[in-house]
Structure 1
Amino acid sequence: MKRSLGIICVFLIVFLLSGCGKSSFDGSRIGNDSQFVMKYKIFNTTDEQSLLLESGATIRTEVIVDSGKLSIKIQKDSDTPIYERDDIVTSENFDVEIQESGTYKITVIGENTKGGVNFKKVDGEKAEQEETQQGISEKKIDLGGAFQEINGCAVIYSPVQEEYSFFNEDMCRQEVSPYSTFKIISALLGLQKGVIVDESSTMGYDGTDYGNAEWNGDLTLEEAFEKSCIWYFREVIDLVGRDKMQEELKNLQYGNCDISEWNGSNINPLENLNGFWLDSSLKISPLEQVEVLSRIFEGHSDYDSRNIEILKKIMLVDENDSQKIYGKTGSGNGEAWFVGFSESDGERKYIAIYLNDSEHRNQISGNKAKEMALEILK
């Protein structure tokens, strides 16, 4: 009997020390060198994430506190924190400007907190550009009919109306892998750097069996884009080169511009079916996708008009007497994209659809995202 009581006491002590069985974290988390995003039903612990920042950059911060309280500290090495607050009990947005380049650690402590945090690196040039865009309006739209209970988001940008329209805005601002939508950029850079000449350019098929009959041949640029052939664009990207690729992504302000995992994360068995744009280091949000497309096709970049016209030609996915729709799909790991734009009566509207739904995984595909985009744009 005494032994039984002793065992019970031990279990009671362990239970009490563990916080009476209280959950420490129930939610989702995304963290890398350029962003730190958490959403949670309960956050009752400490979490940290380091961001690599250059002088002049900004940490754009969104804090949501539905209940409980939060503490935040941002600090470079052992220096005095550049931002520190305890007992935050209300939701708010704020910016933290970076004066000195380096690695900054963000520490978040929750006490019975429900809500979320979003810390995002914004480079100096991009921050300035966003300041000049403050006159552009934003609105929320209901696209539930098109999404049919599939978890995802959409952002539409109209330069003529100077307006962004969001469906699930928070999701539209989170950076994720671009997957094959990055073929838009690699095709344009290949043309601009002379790696490929036009839509008929081939890359010299070496006879490898890629497990996809449509990829087993000496494809043209137009064919490789349509069939989303990874090895073709892996060759283009390698010939463009790491330094030029990094420079161009920074000029385009393409997401986090992170190509550190140049060879990818080995999500595919063959070496040249992997890359930094496939579930690896490069990340971009749906909002940033439409911003990049608008820079290219609204003439706010240095790319040759001839190369942009070739890119438009291979991006065409649908047309009728009054409207043309251009774009590219992408998918992987239960995620799917369509990014592109429509042209009608001299007006362009840019769109990005992103899907991520574990409960409806069998419905998630690039083609499904494209179907939604065509329905919305038409």
Structure 2
Amino acid sequence: MPPHRPAPAPRRPRTGRLAAVLTALTLLGAACAAPATPPRAAQSTTATAPHSRPASPQVRDDLLEVFRQASVTGTFVLMEAESGRTTVVGRERAARRYVPASTFKIPHSLIALETGAVADAEEVIPYGGRPQPRPEWERDMTLREAIAASNVPVFQTLARRIGLARERHWLRRLGYGNRQTGTALDRFWLDGPLAISALEQTGFLARLATGRLPASRRHQRLVRDLLRVERTVDYALFAKTGWGTAGDPGIGWWVGWVERDGRIWTFALNIDVGDDRDAALRIPLGRRLLHRLGVLPYPA
């Protein structure tokens, strides 16, 4: 196990157009927060942000038909990273916070690298030796392999190396969701209290995709490389799924960004997930919406 290095002293955050836009989007998420009695899908896994009145994004609720045709309930947010122009499908749900589940592996990888809990993408991390829900998780993996396989026990090992104090420090530093860990060191992103909205996901990812998080540029580049799932002559796709099962129904995520023609669009989809059939819809629905909104050149 590599020695733990103390977290670096906070640096002054970068300012500029993107920072101002992201602040407005955070406030927008607050303005559209969930009602006092949220629907069943949100009761045990969500939190809401304070109220305020920022400028509105473009609302495309005509595209809710994509979810209706698949017989699921969901939301989708698309953000042009440099300008901050945002399109929302399902505005109220887009502002509601849910457990990030395995989408937290994105900031978690960065936190592990920044704290020295893992040296690089090729270090082998033990899974713990216990039986797992998925047989493919029952082996030690490198960070690169673990994020591709969405290996929960490997990231739980990293969480124990990082420790609650440094997890909390980095959640605050990165401005990630509601920044809450509770006391369950190796479960807080799966069961709560950590929670994040689709709007907040796109803002966080915009800063990562453009290298503007308050963290090492080298580590941000490495995490971006770990997330690349597709490259064609027309575009590159960076993405991560998540499936939180603490609620009933659960919450399914697909988040990431597309690089195309010198531009970057971040996106976040979440849907209610009751079974494997629903979970299998996350990527196809997300790709369909990216195509309908003109970001991916090919339909799902």
TM-score (norm 1): 0.60
Higher normalized contact order (CA 8 Å, seq sep 6+, divided by chain length)? 2
Aligned residue pairs, count? 249
Q: Tell me the distance in 1 between the aligned counterparts of 2:98 and 2:133.
A: 26
Q: How many Å apart are 1:155 and its aligned residue? A: 0.5
2:182 aligned partner? 260
Identity of aligned residues (%): 25
The alignment's C-alpha RMSD in Å is 2.9
Uncovered stretches (5+) of structure 2, i.e. residues with no partner: 1-26, 38-45, 291-295
2:143 to 221, 239, 243: 221
Q: Tell me the distance in 2 between the aligned counterparts of 1:150 and 1:375.
A: 14
- CA 1:259–1:346 in 2, change beyond 3 Å: closer, same or farther? same
Residue type of the partner of 1:341?
Answer: W
Q: Deviations over 1:104-147 (max 9, x none)?
A: xx9x9xxxxxxxxx99444xxxx9xx99xx57x61012324542
Q: How many Å apart are 1:206 and its aligned residue? A: 4.2
1:368 aligns with 2:287: no
Q: For the Cα contact (< 8 Å) 2:228–2:239, is it kept in 1?
A: yes
Q: For the Cα contact (< 8 Å) 2:32–2:92, is it kept in 1?
A: no
1:286 aligns with 2:219: no
Q: How many Å apart are 1:210 and its aligned residue? A: 1.9
TM-score (norm 2): 0.74
Q: Deviations over 1:22-81 (max 9, x none)?
A: xxxxxxxxxxxxxxxxxxxxxxxxxxxxxxxxxxx9x9566999xxxxxxxxxxxxxxxx
Q: For the Cα contact (< 8 Å) 1:61–1:120, is it kept in 2?
A: no
Q: For the Cα contact (< 8 Å) 1:60–1:119, is it kept in 2?
A: no
Q: How many Å apart are 1:162 and its aligned residue? A: 3.0
Q: How many Å apart are 1:208 and its aligned residue? A: 2.5
2:271 to 355, 359, 376: 355
The structure with the greater share of residues assigned to strand is 1
- CA 1:60–1:154 in 2, change beyond 3 Å: closer, same or farther? closer
Q: Tell me the distance in 1 between the aligned counterparts of 2:278 and 2:183.
A: 26
Q: Deviations over 1:239-285 (max 9, x none)?
A: 1221111111112221111101424xxxxxxxxxx500012211111
Q: Tell me the distance in 2 between the aligned counterparts of 1:209 and 1:357.
A: 24
Q: How many Å apart are 1:336 and its aligned residue? A: 0.4
1:143 alignment partner, SS class: helix
- CA 1:63–1:169 in 2, change beyond 3 Å: closer, same or farther? closer
Q: For the Cα contact (< 8 Å) 1:152–1:357, is it kept in 2?
A: no
1:155 alignment partner, SS class: strand
- CA 1:319–1:254 in 2, change beyond 3 Å: closer, same or farther? same
2:141 alignment partner, SS class: coil
Q: For the Cα contact (< 8 Å) 2:34–2:92, is it kept in 1?
A: no
Instruction: Spell out the pairing of 1:189-208 with structure 2 (5 A cutoff).
Output: 189-208=111-130
Q: How many Å apart are 1:362 and its aligned residue? A: 4.8
Residue type of the partner of 2:284?
Answer: E
